[in-house]
Structures are given as structure tokens and as C-alpha cells.
Amino acid sequence: MYFGSDNQAGVSAAIMQALVEANQGIAAAYSDDEWTHRARAAIADWFECDADVHFVSTGTAANCLALACSLEPWQIALCHGQAHIINDELTAPEFFTGGARLLGLDAQAPKLSAITLAHTLSQGSAHPPHNAEPAVLSLTQLTESGQVYSLEELRELTDIAHQYGLIVHMDGARFTNALVSLDCSPAEMTWRVGIDVLSLGATKNGAMTAEAVIFFKPSLAKKFVHMRKRSGHLLSKSRWISAQFLAWLKNDHWRELALHANQQARQLSAGIAEHPKCRIVWPTQGNEVFAVMPKAFIQSLRDQGGIFYEWTPSFVPAEQRVREHEAMVRLVCSFQTKPCEVVQFIDALHRT
């Protein structure tokens, strides 16, 4: 019963086969191979625009290089108070940007609100150059609480950010899980609602290690190739990332993988919600389930083979306060989650 993280899943058979097929003969290095040229074009076509696409091997590199291309060291990037870039990437954003500051907002809410963003930006920089000024808004889709920003919410947030001259970045580590949840196109969830640069993750959705930085605003990409090289993230054998993306996109394989993960999460969520001593914290909109349950249940489930994480108690709505004998848990489904694992977990829970 593996619900620890989608990072713990293996590699899709189709993507693994693509790697085997790419392992034939000699290919040009440093992103000048045929796989990389085709993958960059395929992703631009997927987004229905002339996007500038570049590949890296980790989500942290994708996020931090995107930020570094979008603001100066003396500026600020605004994000949700529980965003991955501010809580789970050490000081990599500060390192890559040369010292730019991150400011977290709405940490006790599942999503960043337009009201909070507008209020924060309306305060301005009272005493330049003594005060750092916001230059980037970073939004995570899915959010750290497994929630999806609607297209209307994204448009409202990007409109406010652009009104104040900010660049809008999207952390799309679970981009495709959000995409199938909204049942919209990649273009509709990005540049058509005002996203300027995207960190697109495939690793959590069936790839081995495949991340892309996609610039919808070409002027932002000018420094990228130099910063990627300077930071040690230019792979010499670039075809291995590109081959993964080509297989991931082919015949909408990404959709098949994400749909399965989301469907299993909904089944798991529904089963947990049926237990009178458990409650779901936020609606299950992607492939993550957040629940509150008695601590004794957690140990019992682990004793029966359940693998999942306890989560941050402070990051819970006030009306769902975690009591002393309870804990909050996160369970994540992936393309490899078996329906029988979900059934087994729910049965184990209801026997507890």
C-alpha cells in the first residue's frame, strides 16, 4: 500500500522503452541532438504557441532557473506560504537568483487569494532602494494542499500581478494532474490566462527524470542557457530527457498516467471519508489526499504495510483543527497505484 509520493513510483513502460530506443548509436551533445530538437517542437505544439523550451533533470533546478531569469537579486518573488520553493527547496532559490527574497502569503489557506495578492502589492515599496520590490508571482498548480486553481482564479491572479509589473511563474510539478482535473488544454492553463514561464514536471507522472522550463515570454529566456550551464544543469547527453518527453506526449500518454493517479486518489478519499473517525481536509482535486485521523489508526495502518506521510498540523483549516489524539496525513497516488492497494488500505482502515 504505497502512498508516500508520486516520486516513489517507477517509470512508465512506454517511457522506459523510449529510453532503450534512444540508446542506439551516437548523438550530438548539449541539447543539439535530434531528440531534443523534436521534443522542444513537440512541447511548443502541445502548448499551441511558439514557446522557448529548455530541459533540466530536477524540479528544483527548473523552478530556480525560471526564477533566476525573471528577477534581479535585489527583488522579491511572492508565493503561497506553503509553496515548494519556499519550504522544500532549501535556499536554492536564493542561491540561483543571487540572493533574491521569497515572501510567502496566505500560509493558512489552501490557495493564494486575489485579495491577499492585491493588498500586498498595493503597499508598494515605500522607500526605494531601501525596500525590496516584488518582481515575480509564483503559483503552484496543483497546490501543496492538492488543490487546483480554476482558470478564473489564475486569470484574476495574473491580471493583478501584471498590473503591478510582475512576471508570473507556475510551478507545474503536478501540472498534468491539474490539467486533467480541469479538463482543459495546456494553453488554457498557462499563457492564455497570463502565465509567463512554466516549470513543467514529468517526473511525478511517469518519467524517470524529466523537467522543462517553458518561456511563453521569449525575452525572459535570454539568460537561461548561460545560467543552466553555470549552475551545472546542462546535460551533455540531453537526449535522455528529450526521449522521455517525446514518449510522454505521444498519444497523450501523460493524460492516461495522470487520469489513473487522480482516479485512484478520489477512490481512496471517498473510502477514508466514510470512516466516522476520519475526515478529509480539502476536496481531492488531483492525486493527493489529505486526511485527519486518530494517531492510533496511523500506526495500525503502517503495521499493515501502509506507506504514507504525516503532514504539517498548522497547515489545516481552523474549522478542522487537529485534536491531541489525531494527526494529519498525506497520501499520494501515482500511475502505478493499483486499485487493489486502494481497496486494501480502505479495508484496513475500516477494520481499525
From first CA to last CA, the distance across the chain in angstroms is 16
Instruction: Please check whether residues 235 and 317 belong to one and the same domain.
Output: no
38 is a domain residue: yes
Q: Is residue 7 part of a domain?
A: no
pLDDT-based confidence at 119, cuts 50/70/90? very high
Looking at the structure, do residues 202 and 316 belong to the same domain, yes or no? no
Whether the predicted pLDDT of 126 surpasses 70: no
| Residues spanned by the domain of 168 | 12-253
Q: Is the dihedral of CA 297, 302, 308, 311 positive or negative?
A: positive
In whole angstroms, give the CA distance from residue 258 to residue 299. 29
In a domain, residue 140? The reply is yes
Question: Would 284 be classed as within a structural domain?
Answer: yes
Q: What CATH code is carried by the domain that includes residue 98?
A: 3.40.640.10
Is residue 55 domain-resident?
yes
Domain end among 211, 227, 253: 253
Whether residues 100 and 209 fall in one domain? yes
Judged by average pLDDT, the poorest of 28-42, 98-112, 176-190, 317-331 is: 317-331
SS3 69: coil
153, 264: one domain = no
SS3 label, residue 278: coil
Residues 224 and 268 grouped into a single domain? no
Decide if 1 is inside a domain: no
Do 249 and 260 lie in a common domain?
no
Could you tell me if 242 and 276 lie in one domain?
no
Per-residue pLDDT tens over the stretch 156-165: 999 999 999 9
Same domain, 210 and 119: yes
Residues 219, 72 share a domain: yes
Report pLDDT digits (tens) over 261-275: 999 999 999 999 999
Give the domain-ending residue among 228, 253, 278. Answer: 253
Domain count, the chain: 2
- The answer on 155 and 101 residing in a single domain is yes
Whether 298 and 243 map to the same domain: the answer is no
Phi/psi at 27 (5° precision): -140, 150
- Helix 13-22 and helix 239-249: axis angle, to 10°? 140
What is the domain-level CATH number for residue 342? 3.90.1150.10
Euclidean distance between CA atoms 202 and 173, whole angstroms: 7
Q: In whole numbers, what is the pLDDT of the chain averaged over residues?
A: 96
Residue 3 lies in a domain: no
Closest by Cα among 316, 280, 308 to 82: 316
pLDDT tens, 310-348? 998 777 877 788 999 999 999 999 999 999 999 999 999
Strands 211-215 and 52-56, how do they pair?
Answer: antiparallel
Residues 269, 206 share a domain? no
Residue 222 lies in a domain: yes
The pLDDT assigned to 79 comes to 99
pLDDT over 70 percentage in the chain: 99
With 0-12 / 13-18 / 19 or more C-beta atoms within 10 angstroms meaning exposed / middle / buried, residue 122 is exposed
pLDDT at 27 exceeding the cut of 80: yes
**Domain boundary at 195, 226, 253, which?**
253
